[in-house]
Amino acid sequence: MNPKTNLKNLIFTIFTLIIFLFSLSIFSTTYACNNLTLNLKKGSNNNEVKLLQQYLNNNNYPLATTGIGSKDKETTYFGNLTKLAVIKYQKDNKLKGDGYVGSLTRAILNKCDTKITTIPTTPCTNGQIYNSITGFSCSIKYSGSITHYVSLHYTAGSNGTLTGDTNQRIVKGHNGTSVTAVPDPNYSFVDWSDASTDNPRTDLNVTDNISVTANFAWVCGSNQVIVVSTAEHTCNESDPYYDKCTYDTVQIGTQCWTKQNMNVGNIISGVTNMTDNSILEKYCYNNDFNYCLTYGGLYNLPEAMEYSLIEDSFIEGAQGICPTGWHIPTDAEQFILENYLTDSPNTCVASREATSDCLNAGGKLKESGTAHWDSPNTGATNSSLFTGLPAGGRGPTGTFVQIGKAFRLLSSSIDDSHPTYFWNRRISITDGSAILRQENTFMNGWSVRCLKD
């Protein structure tokens, strides 16, 4: 044979081999996206574990060559085989090799440019595609479209649950299905962690993964507060106590108040003075428990404070007969309330004594109409929703006065110049829509409203 011919054949063979090897390098790599949304570890058991195993088996991180865990025999359980494969994958990607699929590992797994080193059995020619995920071989020219998916993951925060499909996988650009946030009793739904307040929530035209948490909270004005027990008394709404254990609430400015007068404790006669006897006591107008059911109980300051003392001085702002997390309002806190409700340019002087002031604030605090107030109940609008009722009071000698005519609100602040007197507020039919600030002896029995800490 002609040596030149042999040389040409050899050169041609080498050139053909180079082209073949080059084609392998081109078509030995393709790209795929995962949609993993959960943290996965040994012991996890869900569909995302199976997706993870399939990905590892298809990308040169085989769990096993035969049997359970091998290609096409993946499971939903994350065991030792999965953990070892994940560790190898993590080390190859410069991550801590601990076998835990958290946010860092998941971010790399979910990248669309993650390399898949699957080599076709035959060389691919120009324009043809090989993809181990879709199953198209080199001998088929793929002309269709690839469907992309997104994940929707919903979780519930504390004090609530969710209904609906909380783990959705939908076609990109399509709509999810409805998920509803359900608060626990005496809690409210606030919002989702992405600031959405839709409830139920249906995500539309979704183009990216969504992972959100529903937030729940106790909300003043929407939820109630419950008296379980005080230092001296366990709340009991049956005879002989006729307590009120559950109270509505109202938000006024920055303050959260109970919406009804407190009514807890043992009923005692108006002519009997309350004492520090480890029994919570209350007065009912005219010694009739039905008045307590409507207007609440009447308490002198020491009893309302449950004798909360430090070195023989009452603790201003003590919890007293209020629910846990609430307290008897101070004189200064009562001023915050009346000052907030006073219409400009009317004055509201904090230090006034035996003087009515804060025009229109009293009217905003009084229940309107004459169902409980005597006529004409001037200036009453109850625009604050405080719903002050004219419970009257118990005088220092044991007489009951001013039912239907006055609402007296006890404070936990002592008059420094008169240590046996405490400050309180009075709203009455004679004060119109103003509020009287005055001091009274410890022996007087007035209404109590509680303020949230």
| DSSP type of residue 423 | E
Task: Reply yes or no on whether the pLDDT at 1 is more than 80.
Answer: no
Asked if residue 354 belongs to a domain, the reply is: yes
When pLDDT is averaged across residues 413-434 and rounded to a whole number, the result is 89
Predicted confidence at residue 93, as pLDDT, reads 87
Residues 394-420, buried b or exposed e (16+ Cβ, 10 A)? bbeeeebebbbebbbbbbbbbeeeeee
User: Rounded distance, CA 319 to CA 40, Å?
Assistant: 47
Task: Reply yes or no on whether the pLDDT at 29 is more than 80.
Answer: no
User: Rounded distance, CA 432 to CA 361, Å?
Assistant: 10
**Quick one: 314 and 424 in the same domain?**
yes
The larger pLDDT score, comparing residue 213 to residue 231, is at 213
User: Rounded distance, CA 386 to CA 207, Å?
Assistant: 48
By CB atoms closer than 10 A (0-12, 13-18, 19+), residue 323 is buried
Task: Give the up-direction half-sphere exposure of residue 382: CA atoms within 13 A in the CB hemisphere.
Answer: 14
Strands 281-282 and 266-267: parallel
Confidence of residue 2 (pLDDT cuts 50, 70, 90): low
| Percent of the chain predicted with pLDDT > 70 | 84
SS3 content of the chain, % helix, strand, coil (to 5): 20, 25, 55
Asked if residue 160 belongs to a domain, the reply is: yes
Confidence of residue 223 (pLDDT cuts 50, 70, 90): very high
The larger pLDDT score, comparing residue 55 to residue 29, is at 55
The residue among 126, 152, 154 whose CA lies nearest residue 138 is 126
Domain count for the chain, please give it: 3
**Quick one: 246 and 322 in the same domain?**
yes
pLDDT in tens, 350-404: 999 999 999 999 999 999 999 999 998 989 999 999 999 999 999 999 999 999 9
**Quick one: 281 and 420 in the same domain?**
yes
Asked if residue 442 belongs to a domain, the reply is: yes
Asked if residue 123 belongs to a domain, the reply is: no
Beta bridge partners of 423: 439
Asked if residue 292 belongs to a domain, the reply is: yes
Predicted confidence at residue 154, as pLDDT, reads 97
| DSSP type of residue 8 | H
Predicted confidence at residue 30, as pLDDT, reads 37
Asked if residue 79 belongs to a domain, the reply is: yes
Predicted confidence at residue 113, as pLDDT, reads 42
**Quick one: 314 and 435 in the same domain?**
yes
**Quick one: 65 and 187 in the same domain?**
no
Sign of the torsion angle spanned by Cα atoms 313, 314, 317, 320: positive
Which of 36-45, 143-152, 252-261 is the most confident on average? 252-261
Task: Reply yes or no on whether the pLDDT at 312 is more than 70.
Answer: no
Is the separation of the CB atoms in 374 and 245 below 8 Å? no
pLDDT in tens, 381-394: 999 999 999 999 99
Confidence of residue 122 (pLDDT cuts 50, 70, 90): very low
Task: Reply yes or no on whether the pLDDT at 16 is more than 80.
Answer: no
**Quick one: 341 and 408 in the same domain?**
yes
Confidence of residue 241 (pLDDT cuts 50, 70, 90): confident
Domain ends where: 73, 91, 116?
116
Asked if residue 18 belongs to a domain, the reply is: no
Predicted confidence at residue 413, as pLDDT, reads 94
**Quick one: 211 and 251 in the same domain?**
no
Predicted confidence at residue 313, as pLDDT, reads 67
Confidence of residue 248 (pLDDT cuts 50, 70, 90): very high
Task: Reply yes or no on whether the pLDDT at 9 is more than 70.
Answer: no
Confidence of residue 128 (pLDDT cuts 50, 70, 90): very low
Q: Which helix (H) or strand (E) holds 160?
A: strand 160-164
Asked if residue 438 belongs to a domain, the reply is: yes
**Quick one: 247 and 394 in the same domain?**
yes
| DSSP type of residue 403 | T
**Quick one: 64 and 164 in the same domain?**
no
| Percent of the chain predicted with pLDDT > 90 | 70
Predicted confidence at residue 265, as pLDDT, reads 94
One-letter amino acid of 337: L
79 CB-near residues (< 8 Å, 6+ apart)? 42, 69
By CB atoms closer than 10 A (0-12, 13-18, 19+), residue 126 is exposed
**Quick one: 206 and 249 in the same domain?**
no
Domain ends where: 116, 138, 164?
116
**Quick one: 395 and 330 in the same domain?**
yes
The larger pLDDT score, comparing residue 292 to residue 232, is at 292
Confidence of residue 8 (pLDDT cuts 50, 70, 90): low
Domain ends where: 190, 217, 244?
217
User: Rounded distance, CA 397 to CA 443, Å?
Assistant: 8
Task: Reply yes or no on whether the pLDDT at 28 is more than 60.
Answer: no
Confidence of residue 431 (pLDDT cuts 50, 70, 90): confident
Q: Is the peptide bond before 390 cis (omega within 30 degrees of 0)?
A: no
Q: If DSSP codes are grouped into helix, strand and coil, which group holds residue 194?
A: coil
Q: If DSSP codes are grouped into helix, strand and coil, which group holds residue 220?
A: strand
CATH number of 89's domain: 1.10.101.10
**Quick one: 372 and 242 in the same domain?**
yes
Structure tokens at 26: 């081109």
The domain in which residue 210 lies consists of: 149-217
User: Rounded distance, CA 318 to CA 157, Å?
Assistant: 32
Helix boundaries (H) for 199-348: 289-295, 301-304, 331-341
The vertex-60 CA angle with 56 and 65, nearest 5°, equals 85
User: Rounded distance, CA 70 to CA 54, Å?
Assistant: 9
Helix 47-58 with 80-92: angle, nearest 10 deg: 50
Quote the mean pLDDT of the chain: 86
By CB atoms closer than 10 A (0-12, 13-18, 19+), residue 46 is middle
